[in-house]
Structure 1
C-alpha cells in the first residue's frame, strides 16, 4: 500500500480542487479494509471525470485506480468478477476476448467500474450498467465486508449509491453473447425525429439523437443487430469530421462573454459536422463508445419519463431560443434512452426514461453557464431527475420529490454509516446530514 501526504486533489476538468493530508493507493481488499476501518472520514476516487463534487473533500482519500484487477471468469454462467478500480475499457476488452458483452455502454471508456456504478452510468436503448451487477462485496464503515447478491434486499439500494453506503470491493457482472451492430447516422429536422422516438425504439436495437440547439435539427444514430459476417458499405464521412472538437473550441472561445454567439457557432458546426450521412458496423463496444474525450468539458444531464419528454423538449427549445436570455447551449445535447428498473436511485426507477445531456465546452467558465440553470429548472418542474455524476444544484428537498425511494435510501445510509464516515460536504448537503467541512485548495 502506498501513502502520500499533504497534497492537492484536482478533478479532470480542474474545476474541483481539495487539499488532503493523506492519500492511499491500495492493491488488495485487506488494504482497503484497513484504510477504511482506521479513518474517521474518507472518500475515494477513480478517473476523476465526474462533474459532481463526490470524490474528495475529506482529509483522507483513497486512489482506487490501483485496485484494478480482473479477478475471475465463470464461463458456464457468463459472468466476470473485477476489482472496482478497474477501467471500463479493460473490462470490455476482457469480456469481448471471450465472446461476451455487457449490453449497456456509457459514452466513454476511461471511467472506473466503481465510479460508473456509484453514479448510475448508463448507455442508450438499454439499462444502467448497475443492472448487470449480480453480486458485489461492499466494505462497510467499520471495515467489515458484506457480500450482496441478486437475492439480497439490499441489492437495489446498493446498485447506485454515490459511495455513501460503503466502498465497492469486487463486482460480478452478468454478460451476454457478443453481437454486431449496423449503425447508421444522419441529420433530421426536429419535427422529423421527435415524433418517431417510440416507434424507433421498437424498430431498432440502438437509438441516440444528438440534438443541435438553436438549429432545429438533430443528428440521429440508429443501430440494428446483424450477423457479424454481413457486409456493410462503410461510410465514415469526410475526413474533416475528426476536427469537430477543435473547431468547437475555437468557435466557443468567447461564448461565455457573449452567449448569443453560441447560436451562430452552432449553425456553423451543424452545417459542417452534422450534415453528413455515415454508416458502419462493429461490436457494441466498437460501434458506440467514444474512446477518448480530448479536451476537458463540463456536463449536466437530466432524465424524464419517456411520455413527458416531448413537452419538456419543446419547453427547453422555446426557452433557450429567446434572445432575451443567456441560456445558449453548446452542441450537442445528447438524447438517450433507458428502460425502467427497480434500483432506488436509478434515473429509470419504475419508468422508461429519456436522458438529455447539456455540455459546456468551456469547463473553466461553467459556473457562469446559464444553460445549466435553465435546463435544471425546466426538468425539475416536470419531475426530472439529475445524473449523479454530473452538474446539478438540487439538494435534499428537491431530490425527495423526484426519487420515490430517497427517504428509504437516507434511512439505510444512516444505519450503515451512523458516523457519516463516507460523507464529504457536498454529499452531506444532498442527504441533509452533517459532515466535516474542508476548505477548497
Structure 2
C-alpha cells in the first residue's frame, strides 16, 4: 500500500495529505495543470502561518518557476516569474542600482506568495502596490494580462490566489538610495506621541515594542548621499546571539506564561539597550536575510489615528500579570501608506501594523496572546495579515474590509467551480460548497 503523501508548512504546524504534486517551469505547464485540476492550490516556501497553501488533492510547487523575463532599463521595470524568491529579485535590481521603495522584513518568500497575502515593509506602500503589470492564469487555464490601469488590478493585488494564479509580474522600480540608519531604545512615553512627527521627519521608521519593559526599540532611516561617511556602530558582538538566548529563555513559557515577563526584561537589557548606527541601501540596511522556523506569527493592522488609543489598551492588558497573555518580544510596529487595493490592510487609510510572535511554534495553539491581540484589534476595526494567524472569518471580515462583499462576488464570477478554494479559504468567504475536506494536523 502506497504511503500517504503529506504536505507540511515550514514549521510543520500545518499538515495536509495530497494526491498530486507538480513542479512547473513554464507558463504553459502552469496553465495546463490549472485547467485540468478540479481543485488546486499553489505554494512557495511554505512560510505562511495561515492555512492557505494546501488542503486539496492537487498542489503546484511554484519555486522552480523563478526566472527573469525582461528588464526595461529606460522605464526601470523588471518582469519576473512569480516563483522567484524575493531575495533573487532584490539582488538583481540592486545590480541595476534600482530599488523597490518599501521592502518586507524577510527576503526568503516567493514573489507570488508575498503579493497574494499583502506582504509589506514600512514607510511606504504594500509590496503589491509596486506591481505595474502581471499575467494571470484564470480558472480555465487561459491567460489574462492585468495592468496598472485595469479595473481588476485593485482586486487582484491582494487576493490570496482566489482570482487565479499570478504567473509573471512586472515591478515598477525607482533609483536606488542610501539610508543612514540609527537604532536605539526609547521609553513608550517618548516614541508613542511622536509617531506622526517621526513619519514626516524620517524616510524609514520602525519600532520594536518590548512588552513588560516600558520601552520600544526605535529604528529610523534618512536618505543621504552615497558618499557621505557614517561612523558605523553595530553594537556589542554578543547581539548576534539574541535568537539563541530567546529560545532558551522562552522554552517553558507555554507552561508558565509569567516567565515571559521576566525573559522580556532580561532580553531588553541585553539585546535592546544599545545604540547602533550604519548606512546602506534599503535592502542592505533593513531586510532580514534569514528567519528560524521555530517562529509562529500573527499580525494586525489598524488606522494610524486609532493606534495610540489601541496601544494603551493593549499595553495595559499585556502587561497585566493576572492573565496569561504574555508576548514574546519584540512586537514589530510598522507603517503603511493608504491605497485602493480591496483587501489591503491600508485600503482607504494610513495604517499601523503590529506583529505578535510566539517563539515556540509547536505550542502556538495555546499562546493566549494571539487571542488577546486579535480581540483588541477587532474592537478598533483592525485587519489581520492574510498570511499569518487569525481566527476571524466572514462575519468579522465583512465589517473591517469595505470591499469584502465585492471581492466575494468577483471571486465567484472568476472561479465559478471554486477551483482555488481549500477548506480554510472556503470558511473565510463563507462558501458552503463541499471542498474536499482534508484533515489539518496542527501540532
What TM-score comes out, normalization by structure 1 length? 0.98
Partners of 1:335 and 1:78 in 2: how far apart? Answer: 30
Map Cα deviations across residues 49-81 of structure 1 (whole Å, 9 max, x no partner). Answer: 000000000011000001110111011111000
Question: Is 1:135 the counterpart of 2:133 in the alignment?
Answer: yes
SS in 1 for 2:12: coil
Cα 1:75–1:5 shift into 2, 3 Å: farther
Tell me what 2:61 maps to. Answer: 63
1:174 aligns with 2:177: no
* SS of alignment partner, residue 19 of structure 2: strand
In 2: Cα distance, 1:439 partner to 1:33 partner = 28
Q: Tell me, yes or no, if the aligned pair for 1:41 and 1:420 is still in contact at 8 Å.
A: yes
Find out whether 1:436 has 2:436 as its counterpart. yes
SS in 1 for 2:305: coil
- Alignment partner of 1:362 out of 360, 363, 371: 360
Deviation at 1:437, TM superposition (A): 1.2
How far the C-alpha of 1:436 sits from its partner, in A, is 2.1
2:311 maps to: 313
Equivalent residue, structure 2, for 1:335:
333
**Structure 2 partner of 1:81:** 79
Question: Which deviations, in whole Å up to 9, do the C-alpha atoms of 1:14-63 show, x marking residues without a partner?
Answer: 10011111100000000001100011000010010000000000011000
Superposition map of 1:276-425 within 5 A: 276-425=274-423
Secondary structure in structure 1 of the residue aligned to 2:354: strand
Q: CA deviation at 1:294?
A: 2.9
Q: Distance in 1 between matches of 2:179 and 2:320?
A: 40
Once the two structures are superposed, residues 185-214 of structure 1 have per-residue CA deviations (whole angstroms, 9 ceiling, x without a partner) of: 010110000001000000000000000011
8 Å Cα contact 1:5-1:21 kept in structure 2: no
Give the superposition deviation at 1:255: 0.2
Q: Any unmatched runs of 5+ in structure 1?
A: none
Give runs of aligned pairs for residues 8-27 of structure 1, distance below 5 A: 8-27=6-25
- Contact 2:83–2:111 under 8 Å retained in 1: yes
Distance in 1 between the 2:14 and 2:116 partners?
19
Corresponding residue SS for 1:366: helix
CA change 1:5–1:122 in 2 (3 A) is farther
The alpha-carbon deviation at position 296 of structure 1 amounts to 2.1
Q: Give, in angstroms, the shift of residue 295 of structure 1.
A: 4.3
In 1, distance between residues paired with 2:12 and 2:323?
A: 28
Query: Compared with structure 1, are the counterparts of its residues 99 and 5 closer, same or farther at alpha carbon in structure 2 (3 Å cutoff)?
Result: farther
CA distance in 2, matches of 1:297, 1:285: 22
Question: Which shifted more, 315-324 or 58-67?
Answer: 315-324
Are residue 33 (structure 1) and residue 31 (structure 2) matched? yes
Q: Distance in 2 between matches of 1:352 and 1:411?
A: 26
Q: How big is the shift at 1:150?
A: 1.0
**Cα distance in 2 for residues equivalent to 1:167 and 1:213:** 40
Going from structure 1 to structure 2, the CA distance change for 1:295 and 1:11 (only over 3 Å counts) comes to closer
| Partner SS for 1:308 | helix
Q: Structure 1 residues 182 and 262, CA, compared in 2 at 3 Å: closer, same or farther?
A: same
| Deviation (angstroms), 1:160 | 0.3
State the alpha-carbon separation in 1 of the partners of residues 192 and 440 from structure 2. Answer: 43
For structure 2, the residue ranges without an aligned partner over 5 or more in a row are none
Distance 1:324 1:7 in 2: 44
- Following superposition, the deviation at residue 5 of structure 1 comes to 9.7
- 2:294, 2:234 → 1: CA distance? 25
CA distance in structure 2 between the partners assigned to 1:105 and 1:138 by the alignment: 23
Correspondence 1:255-266 to 2 at 5 A: 255-266=253-264
Q: Deviations over 1:242-287 (max 9, x none)?
A: 0000000000000000001100000000000000000000000000
Contact 1:105–1:123 (Cα < 8 Å) also in 2:
yes
CA distance in 1, matches of 2:148, 2:372: 39
| 1:154-165 paired onto structure 2 within 5 Å | 154-165=152-163
Corresponding pairs, count: 438
RMSD: 1.0
Report if aligned partners of 1:182, 1:224 keep a CA contact under 8 Å in 2: yes
Give the drift of 1:7.
Answer: 2.0
For 1:44 and 1:295, locate their aligned partners in 2 and report how far apart those are by CA, in whole Å: 20
